[in-house]
Amino acid sequence: MNRFFKWHEEMIEKISKEFNLTKYQMMILTWLEGILIGVLICKFVF
Protein backbone atom coordinates (compact mmCIF):
# COMPACT_ATOMS: atom_id res chain seq x y z
CA MET A 1 0.00 0.00 0.00
CA ASN A 2 2.89 2.36 0.70
CA ARG A 3 4.13 1.84 -2.86
CA PHE A 4 0.75 2.97 -4.18
CA PHE A 5 0.79 6.14 -2.05
CA LYS A 6 4.35 6.90 -3.15
CA TRP A 7 3.45 6.29 -6.82
CA HIS A 8 0.35 8.50 -6.50
CA GLU A 9 2.34 11.30 -4.88
CA GLU A 10 4.97 11.15 -7.64
CA MET A 11 2.28 11.27 -10.34
CA ILE A 12 0.64 14.31 -8.72
CA GLU A 13 4.01 16.08 -8.55
CA LYS A 14 4.75 15.21 -12.18
CA ILE A 15 1.38 16.51 -13.40
CA SER A 16 1.57 19.66 -11.29
CA LYS A 17 5.02 20.48 -12.69
CA GLU A 18 3.89 19.71 -16.25
CA PHE A 19 0.90 22.09 -16.03
CA ASN A 20 2.57 24.51 -13.59
CA LEU A 21 -0.09 24.05 -10.88
CA THR A 22 0.22 24.59 -7.16
CA LYS A 23 -0.93 22.00 -4.64
CA TYR A 24 -3.93 24.19 -3.84
CA GLN A 25 -4.95 24.30 -7.51
CA MET A 26 -4.53 20.52 -7.77
CA MET A 27 -6.74 20.10 -4.70
CA ILE A 28 -9.49 22.25 -6.24
CA LEU A 29 -9.30 20.35 -9.55
CA THR A 30 -9.55 16.96 -7.84
CA TRP A 31 -12.48 18.22 -5.73
CA LEU A 32 -14.29 19.38 -8.88
CA GLU A 33 -13.51 16.06 -10.56
CA GLY A 34 -15.03 14.20 -7.62
CA ILE A 35 -18.19 16.30 -7.80
CA LEU A 36 -18.46 15.68 -11.55
CA ILE A 37 -17.98 11.93 -11.21
CA GLY A 38 -20.52 11.85 -8.37
CA VAL A 39 -23.10 13.65 -10.50
CA LEU A 40 -22.48 11.33 -13.44
CA ILE A 41 -22.78 8.23 -11.25
CA CYS A 42 -26.04 9.50 -9.73
CA LYS A 43 -27.44 10.37 -13.15
CA PHE A 44 -26.66 7.05 -14.83
CA VAL A 45 -26.94 4.61 -11.92
CA PHE A 46 -29.87 5.92 -9.90
**Dmax over Cα atoms in the chain, in whole Å?**
38
| C-beta separation of 1 from 7 below 8 A | no
pLDDT digits (tens, 9 = 90+) for 5-42: 999 999 989 999 999 999 899 999 999 999 999 999 99
Phi, psi of 20 (to 5 degrees): 55, 55
Q: Where are the domains of the chain?
A: 2-45
pTM of the entire predicted model: 0.67
pLDDT on residue 1: 86
Instruction: Quote the Cα angle for 30-42-26, to 5°.
Output: 5
